[in-house]
Structure 1
Amino acid sequence: MADSSRLNRRGFLVGGAVVGAGALAAACTSNEPEADEGAAGQQNVAAGGDNDKPGKRVTIGFSAPQADHGWIAAIAKNAEAQAKRYSDVDFQAVEPTNDINQQISAVESLISRKVNALVLLPNDGEQLNQVARKAMDAGIPVINLDRVFPDKLSYRTWIGGDNYGMGVAAGHYIGNKLKSKNASNPVIVEIQGIATLPLTQERSKGFADALKTYGFTVTAKQDAKFTVETGNQVASNLLQAHKKIDALWNHDDDQGVGVLAAIKQAGRNEFFMVGGAGSANAMREIKNGGVLEATVTYSPTMASSAIRIARLIAQGKGMSDLVERQVPQSITLASETITRQNVDQYLPLGFES
Structure 2
Amino acid sequence: MTQSSRDMSRRRLLLGGAALGGGALLTACTSNEAKPNDAQIKPAEGGASAGNAAPGTKVVIGFSAPAADHGWIAAITNNAKAQAGAYSDVELKTVEAGADAAAQRAALSTLIGQKPNVIVLLPHDGKELNAFGLESMAAGIPVVNLDRAFPDARAYRTQIKGDNYGMGVAAATYIIAQMKAKGVSSPIIGEIPGIDSLELTQERSKGFADTLGAAGFKVQRRVPAEFTVDTGQRAASQLLQAVPRMDALWNHDDDQGIGVLAAANQAGRTEFLMIGGAGSKKAMEDIQSDKTPLKATVTYSPSMASSAISLARLIGQGKGMADLVELQVPKEIVLASETITKENAGTYLKLGF
The answer, yes or no, to whether TM exceeds 0.5 is yes
Match of 1:331 in 2: 333
Give the counterpart letter for 1:207 in structure 2: F
CA distance in 2, matches of 1:150, 1:30: 26
**Kept in 2: contact 1:190–1:218 (CA 8 A):** yes
Tell me the CA shift for residue 44 of structure 1: 2.0
Match of 2:31 in 1: none
Q: Greater CA deviation, 25-34 or 265-274?
A: 25-34
Confirm or deny that 1:152 pairs with 2:144.
no
Match of 2:226 in 1: 225
Which one of 317, 320, 333 corresponds to residue 318 of structure 1?
Answer: 320
**Kept in 2: contact 1:194–1:200 (CA 8 A):** yes
Confirm or deny that 1:122 pairs with 2:123.
yes
With over 3 angstroms needed to count, the CA separation of the structure-2 counterparts of 1:41 and 1:275, relative to structure 1, is closer
Q: Greater CA deviation, 25-34 or 270-279?
A: 25-34
Tell me the CA shift for residue 297 of structure 1: 0.5
Match of 2:346 in 1: 344
Confirm or deny that 1:29 pairs with 2:21.
yes
Partner deviation per Cα, 1:125-145 (whole Å, 9 max, x = no partner):
111111111111110000000
Which one of 293, 296, 307 corresponds to residue 294 of structure 1?
Answer: 296
Tell me the CA shift for residue 212 of structure 1: 1.7
Match of 1:97 in 2: 98
**Kept in 2: contact 1:190–1:250 (CA 8 A):** yes
Give the counterpart letter for 1:90 in structure 2: E
Matches within 5 A, 1:1-353: 27-29=19-21, 42-47=38-43, 49-289=50-290, 290-351=292-353
CA distance in 1, matches of 2:144, 2:22: 20
Partner deviation per Cα, 1:40-69 (whole Å, 9 max, x = no partner):
963122256521110000100101111111
Partner deviation per Cα, 1:151-170 (whole Å, 9 max, x = no partner):
11110011011001000000
Query: What stretches of structure 1 of length at least 5 have no aligned partner?
Result: 6-21, 35-39
Give the counterpart letter for 2:228 in structure 1: T
Give the counterpart letter for 1:45 in structure 2: I
Match of 2:8 in 1: none
Partner deviation per Cα, 1:67-90 (whole Å, 9 max, x = no partner):
111111111111111111000000
CA distance in 1, matches of 2:14, 2:181: 36
Give the counterpart letter for 1:243 in structure 2: P
Structure 2 residue matching 1:276: 3-state secondary structure: strand
**Structure 2 length-normalised TM:** 0.88
**Kept in 1: contact 2:58–2:91 (CA 8 A):** yes
Match of 1:11 in 2: none
Query: What stretches of structure 2 of length at least 5 have no aligned partner?
Result: 2-11, 27-35, 45-49
Partner deviation per Cα, 1:9-49 (whole Å, 9 max, x = no partner):
xxxxxxxxxxxxx9996841179999xxxxx9631222565
Structure 1 residue matching 2:219: 3-state secondary structure: coil
CA distance in 2, matches of 1:104, 1:47: 32
CA distance in 1, matches of 2:38, 2:177: 37
**Kept in 2: contact 1:58–1:314 (CA 8 A):** yes
**Kept in 2: contact 1:272–1:292 (CA 8 A):** yes
CA distance in 2, matches of 1:24, 1:97: 29
Structure 2 residue matching 1:219: 3-state secondary structure: strand
CA distance in 2, matches of 1:145, 1:187: 36
Give the counterpart letter for 1:332 in structure 2: V
Structure 1 residue matching 2:297: 3-state secondary structure: strand
Partner deviation per Cα, 1:88-147 (whole Å, 9 max, x = no partner):
000111123232221011111110000000000111111111111111111000000011
**Kept in 1: contact 2:25–2:307 (CA 8 A):** no
CA distance in 2, matches of 1:158, 1:134: 16
**Kept in 2: contact 1:313–1:327 (CA 8 A):** yes
Partner deviation per Cα, 1:250-270 (whole Å, 9 max, x = no partner):
001111111111111212110
With over 3 angstroms needed to count, the CA separation of the structure-2 counterparts of 1:57 and 1:24, relative to structure 1, is farther
CA distance in 1, matches of 2:251, 2:163: 16
Give the counterpart letter for 1:106 in structure 2: A
Specify which structure has the bigger relative contact order, considering alpha-carbon pairs within 8 angstroms and separated by 6 or more residues: 2
Structure 2 residue matching 1:223: 3-state secondary structure: coil
With over 3 angstroms needed to count, the CA separation of the structure-2 counterparts of 1:74 and 1:67, relative to structure 1, is same
Tell me the CA shift for residue 181 of structure 1: 1.2
**Kept in 1: contact 2:13–2:279 (CA 8 A):** no
Size of the aligned set, in residue pairs, is: 327
**Structure 1 length-normalised TM:** 0.88
Match of 1:10 in 2: none
**Kept in 1: contact 2:191–2:223 (CA 8 A):** yes
With over 3 angstroms needed to count, the CA separation of the structure-2 counterparts of 1:23 and 1:46, relative to structure 1, is farther
